Amino acid sequence: MKKNLIIAALMLAVQPTGAQQVKYIINGISSDNGKTVSLIDRGTNQIVNTATVANGKFSMSGDADKDALMAIGIRENPWATLFFNDGTPMTINLNDSTLKGSPMNERLTRYDVEINAPYGNYIMKVQNMSEEEREKKKLELSGGLMIAAMKMMEGVEKVFKDERESLIPVAFVSEYMQTFGLEKFDSVLATKPVWANHPIVKRVVEQVAREKAEEEKKQAIIGQQFTDLEEPDTDGKMHKLSEYVGKGKWVLVDFWASWCGPCMQEMPNVVAAYEKYHAKGFDVVGLSFDNKKEPWLKAIADKNMPWTHLSDLKGWRTVASEVYGVNSIPDNLLIDPQGKIVARGLRAQGLQDKLKEIFGER
C-alpha cells in the first residue's frame, strides 16, 4: 500500500488539460430503474455527469475533452462501458455492455467485453462453488485462473497489434505494462502509433518512470550497513535495532501494518519462513506502521507472529519510514550476520528462494 496514492489522485484530478472540448450525446438502456448512472473521465477519475434510469432508459449530454477516455455505468455495478469522446452520438446498453456509435467506440466495447470475459466468467464460476468444493479443487482452480488470466493478456496484446492506427490501446495501457513491462512498452511507443500521445498514456508512462526511479533509489541501499533506529516494543520499552541486527544472525526487518491488506496476506509466508529457518539462525524484527496499539497487538496474536515487534505508533511518520525511505508496504530488508543489507522487498516465493539459497533445505 502506497501512502501517496490518494494525494497523487487528487493532484491528477485538478490538473487543467486545456484540451479542445467536444459535445457528447448519450442515450442509454438499463434495467436498473431508479439507479444513478455515472459518467467518469478515466484520465482524471472525476464524475462529469449523472442521470437516473427511468422506464428502462436514461440520457445525458455535455462537453468534455476531445478523445477523453470515458466510462459509464451504474454506481453500484463494478463494470462500466468504455468509449472515447469523439463527438459521435451514442446509444449504450448497460444490460449487455454494447454500444452503437462511431466504429472505433463499437470496436472498443467489443474488445473490452471479449478481453475480460475469460477471467470474469471463471471468477463467477469459482464464486458459485461451495467453500468445500473450492478447497477440494484448490490446485485445479489455481491453474484455471492462471489460464484465464493468460487469455486475458493475449487479448490485450492483440489490441496493441491490431489497433496501431486508433486510440483503442489507450484503454489497456496499464494492463499491457503490468504484463509485458516498461521496456517492451517503450519499444512499442518507439514505433509512433497513433495513440502514443494521448494524455492518459503520457501520465501512465510518467508514473511508471517515477516508480521505477523510486524503486532504484530504494534498492541502492543493498550492500550498505544497516542504519540503527530506536522504537518501543509491545510493552512500551525502548529498543534499538542494533540489539537484534548484526549479532551473528540473518535478520528480516519487516515493514508492515495491521491495516495493510497485502501485509496481512503476506504474513503467513513470513511465519512459514521463520518456522522453517529460525533454528538455523534466521530471525525477524517487525517494524509496524500502525497508529493504534490495540489493532497492532491483535494482528500479532491473530497471525501468530512470534518474533520481536517494535513500533512508535506514528503511522507513515514512523522513524522507520524516514530512516529507510519506506513509502509503501509490505516492504522488508534482509540483513546478513554482520549487519550488511543484502536484499530488499522479498515476498512470496522470492523470500523462500533466498532463504533456501542461504540455509539450504532443512
Q: Is residue 320 pLDDT above 70, yes or no?
A: yes
* The model's pTM: 0.62
Mean pLDDT for 201-212 is 84
**For residue 221, which amino acid is it?**
I
* Torsion angle of C-alpha atoms 321, 326, 332, 336, degrees rounded to 10: -70
Mean pLDDT for 111-122 is 85
CATH top class, domain 1-101? mainly beta
Residue range 230-359 in CATH 3.40.30.10: yes
The predicted-structure confidence for 224-272, as pLDDT tens digits, reads as follows: 999 999 999 999 999 999 999 999 999 999 999 999 999 999 999 999 9
DSSP H helices in the chain? 5-13, 103-127, 131-136, 138-162, 173-189, 199-219, 261-277, 293-302, 319-324, 348-359
The predicted-structure confidence for 259-292, as pLDDT tens digits, reads as follows: 999 999 999 999 999 999 999 999 999 999 999 9
Q: How confident is the model at residue 18 (pLDDT cuts 50, 70, 90)?
A: low
| Average pLDDT over all residues of the chain | 90
Name the grid cell of 176: 499491457
Name the grid cell of 122: 471463471
- Tell me the domain boundaries of the chain: 1-101, 128-220, 230-359
CB 43, CB 203: distance < 8 Å: yes
